[in-house]
Amino acid sequence: MQELINRVVDRLGLDANIAEKCISIILNFLKTEVPAENINPVLEAIPGTHELLSKFKGTVENSDTGGDFLTGALGNLMGGNGVLDTLSKLQAEGLDMEQARSLGQEIFNFAQETVGADMIDEVKKSIPGLNQVL
């Protein structure tokens, strides 16, 4: 996990603590939204994932934020409010849309290097609209 955190710090210019929390936000989103048979092998293959998720437990979990009509409609088009909720949490940590997209790409690239493209393709297919965000 430290390798991923270092990559995010170097490539996005984030503080290490912010990088950790933002990575945790995305991993928690994936854990919540992707079927267990697709995401669990990925999470197990990346050392330190469970420790990072535990570190931020209670502060990064996805929740039904309700939102207004537009947010709800956009969320439904993009596979549910989880995507927009996750983007909102990343923005609350100070990331702009491009940084959020780059963060997602870094996480997926790192995971692909770790577990292979086939497993990551299955994860991406599990969330409608994810490729539009990444």
pLDDT digits (tens, 9 = 90+) for 19-42: 999 999 999 999 999 999 999 999
Residue 62 C-beta-side C-alpha neighbours within 13 Å: 19
Residue 34 DSSP code = S
* Spatial separation of the C-alpha atoms in residues 7 and 38, rounded to whole Å: 24
Mean pLDDT along residues 43-60? 89
* Spatial separation of the C-alpha atoms in residues 6 and 13, rounded to whole Å: 10
AA identity, residue 37: E
85 and 62 in contact (C-beta within 8 Å)?
yes
- pLDDT beyond 70 at 74: no
